[in-house]
Amino acid sequence: MKSKEGRLATDCPVEFSKLVSGFSEEAKVRKQASQGKHVDPYQPKSPKSRCIRQRSSSFVNGKCKSKETPLSGNYGVEDMNSNVNGRDIGIRNIPRQRELLNAKNGIQFTLMVAGQSGLGKTTFINSLFATSLINDNIKENRPIVRYKNIIEGNGTHLRFGVIDTPNFGNDMDNAFTWRTMVNYIDEEIRSYIFQEEQPDRTKMIDDRVHCCLYFLKPSNNGIDTLDVLTMKELARRVNLIPVIAKADLLTKHELNNFKMEIREIIRVQNISVCCFFDNNVLDATQNIFQKFPFSIVASKEYVLNKKGERVKGREYKWGTVEIENEKHSDFKILQRILFDWHLIDFVESTEDYYEKCRSEMLRTRLLKARDCLTTNTVEITDEQRKFLQEEMNFEDIEENKLKNYKCYEIINKVIMDKVATEWDPEFITRQLETKKRFNEISNQEIRKIKEWKKNLFMKQENFNQEIEDLNNNLENLQLECQDLEYKLLMDKSSDHHSTDSATLVNVHIKR
Residue 410 · residue 380 · CB < 8 Å: yes
Determine the pLDDT at residue 320. 83
| Per-residue pLDDT reduced to its tens digit, 386-423 | 888 778 877 777 777 878 778 888 887 777 777 766 66
pLDDT greater than 70 at residue 267: yes
More confident site: 466 or 425: 466
Local confidence band at 151 (pLDDT 50, 70, 90 cut-offs):
confident
- Rounded mean pLDDT of 73-79? 41
* Whole-number Cα distances in Å, 172 to 23, 147, 368: 44, 27, 38
* Average confidence (pLDDT) over 161-170: 84
Whether 186 shows a pLDDT value over 80: the answer reads yes
* Position 51, amino acid: C
**What is the C-alpha separation between 361 and 137, in angstroms, rounded?**
41
Tens of pLDDT, residues 83-135: 444 456 678 888 788 778 777 777 889 999 998 888 888 888 888 876 777 77
Which band of pLDDT confidence, cut at 50, 70 and 90, is reported for residue 156?
Answer: confident
- The pLDDT of residue 215 is 92
8 A C-beta contact, residue 150 and residue 97 = no
Q: Give the Cα separation of 413 and 155 in Å (integer).
A: 38
DSSP 272: P
Q: Is the pLDDT of residue 460 over 70?
A: yes
pLDDT the model gives residue 42: 39
Q: What is the pLDDT of residue 231?
A: 92
Contacts of 162 (CB under 8 A, 6+ apart): 110, 111, 112, 113, 125, 133, 134, 146, 147, 148, 149
Residue 212 has pLDDT above 90, yes or no: yes
The more confident residue out of 509 and 162 is 162
Q: Which of 161, 178, 192, 181 minimizes the C-alpha distance to 357?
A: 192
Q: At CA 27, angle to CA 23 and CA 33, rounded to 5?
A: 150
Closest by Cα among 269, 163, 254, 144 to 210:
163
Please give the distance of CA 248 from its chain centroid, rounded to a whole number: 29
**Which residues neighbour 117 within 8 Å (Cβ) at sequence distance 6 or greater?**
166, 167, 168, 169, 170
CA–CA gap between residue 498 and residue 500 (Å, rounded): 6
Angle of helix 343-371 versus helix 178-196 axis, rounded to 10: 80
Rounded to the nearest integer, the mean pLDDT of the chain is 75
What percent of the chain stands above pLDDT 70?
A: 74
pLDDT band at 282 (very low <50, low <70, confident <90, very high): low
Tens-digit pLDDT profile for residues 214-263 = 999 888 888 888 889 999 999 999 999 999 988 888 888 888 889 899 98
**pLDDT reported for residue 45:** 44
Residue 213's pLDDT band, with cuts at 50, 70 and 90, is: very high
pLDDT tens-place string over residues 7-59: 433 334 434 444 444 444 544 544 555 455 444 443 444 444 444 333 333 33
Alpha-carbon span 26 to 32, nearest angstrom:
10
Q: What is the pLDDT of residue 112?
A: 92
C-alpha–C-alpha distance, residues 272 and 235, integer Å: 6
Beta bridge partners, 158, equal 107, 151
| Cis status, amide bond into 143, omega within 30 of 0 | no
- The tens digit of pLDDT for each residue in 329-362 reads 888 888 888 888 888 888 888 999 999 988 888 8
Q: Is pLDDT larger for residue 63 or for residue 284?
A: 284
Higher pLDDT pick, 225 / 278: 225
